[in-house]
Structure 1
Amino acid sequence: MVGWIARHPDTLGQDEVQQFTAVLGVCPELEQAHGLVRDFARMLAQRTGAELPGWIDTARAGRLPGITGFAGGLTADLDGVIAGLTAHWSSGSTEGAVTRVKKIKRRLYERAGFELLPVD
């Protein structure tokens, strides 16, 4: 179920869509969770961060344990999350460079040992 809910609807096959629809029809909580996940994914894709406070209110009102906790966590830095869902720039290249440097440092630390220390 998590795989079906988390995947983009266009990637589901016909059989999967039929099975997924049948399950959603008998479990209103899953249908509600699916709607909330789809709405959040749309906000991510379309960068409509201004809609986030309304989404958080809807998620909290639904009282679904995982989603309610996630929504509550977003409020810890709401302005930052809204900015992240709205801004068109990304720090991905910087994060990639930092990760590369950390990887190099880890390799160097593995090589360090007592045998590399100068002997008096």
Structure 2
Amino acid sequence: MDSPVTPLVASPVLPAALPGWTLPRGREPDKIAAAFAAGIVLKSLDDFVRPAPIWVGCWRARQALKCAAVSVRLMGRNEDEAALRDAVLLTAAGGDPGPAGRVFLATKRLSTRKPAFSSKVVGELADLLGLVWDDRLAAAVDQADDALQSGRPAPLAAADLVSAIHAARRDAEARDVVESFHESKSSVDLEAWIERATKSLVASFANGVIRDRAAIQNAITSQWSNGQTEGQITKLKLIKRERDEHPTFPFVIEAAR
């Protein structure tokens, strides 16, 4: 008996580049032009995946991996996509893939076709992402319903939801505080960062910055650096290491004889 043949769904052809009339003409587009171009991109992507071609599952899995890699990098970790994949695939069933691996599991869960959105699901995702479950996070379910019923376009409704959750959770703000530390370019920026950080969950880190305020401020504002000195020291260490591994001095050769 012959097995039934599953018909293949023809995938639409996605243009290699956006039409010229969709692109901003200025060097720095304004918000309206950027939003218009983003809308065209989303429409093209929707047309591309809506017929559910046979490869769409792989595509969703790939997007989940990329999202996890970005999230892990924002957390200050150094796992790349390969490390995230190994953390999940090389862990026995029921085992703990580690913090980075759990982030990948969370993004895989979110990449499913129609993920259920309930308090239980949000709680499971919070556990994978290492977030403390509380009433404010539980309210995300109601906030999602409000966003869906707001009548705003889905991307804007999602942005509203993220903003609401971010405002309600200080641990979400803490990540933003840590990231903004690297953007300090002047003593004024540093003082503003210290004032903000001392009121967040990274207050202990901010106190350490306060103790070393002078050194950190000099590192930010001064044009001078000890990089040249450190570079010369590294070069000398390299020469010494090569000498020890491959002795060529006459007295060493003579001693070996």
TM bracket (short chain):
0.5 to 0.7
Q: Tell me: higher relative CO, structure 1 or 2? Use CA pairs within 8 A at least 6 residues apart.
A: 1
Q: If the length of structure 1 is used for normalisation, what is the TM-score?
A: 0.57
Q: Say if 2:177 is the partner of 1:42.
A: no
Q: Which amino acid aligns with 2:234?
A: T
Q: Which amino acid aligns with 2:189?
A: E
How far, CA to CA, are the matches of 2:245 and 2:163 in structure 1?
51
Partner of 1:107: 242
Partner of 1:68: 203
CA-based RMSD: 3.2
How far, CA to CA, are the matches of 1:97 and 1:74 in structure 2?
29
Q: Say if 2:192 is the partner of 1:51.
A: no
Partner of 1:10: none
Q: CA deviation at 1:3?
A: 1.4
> Would you say how many aligned residue pairs link Structure 1 and Structure 2?
98
Partner of 1:98: 233
Q: CA deviation at 1:104?
A: 1.6
Distance 1:109 1:73, change over 3 A: farther
Q: CA deviation at 1:48?
A: 0.9
Q: Which amino acid aligns with 1:51?
A: D
Distance 1:111 1:69, change over 3 A: farther
| Alignment counterpart, residue 173 of structure 2, candidates 17, 32, 36 | 32
How far, CA to CA, are the matches of 2:164 and 2:242 in structure 1?
52
Q: CA deviation at 1:111?
A: 5.1
Extract unaligned runs of 5+ from structure 1.
Answer: 7-17
Q: Percent identity?
A: 28
3-state DSSP class of the match of 1:32? helix
Distance 1:58 1:102, change over 3 A: same
Q: Which amino acid aligns with 1:73?
A: G
Extract unaligned runs of 5+ from structure 2.
Answer: 1-70, 77-154
Q: CA deviation at 1:79?
A: 0.8
Higher radius of gyration, 1 or 2: 2
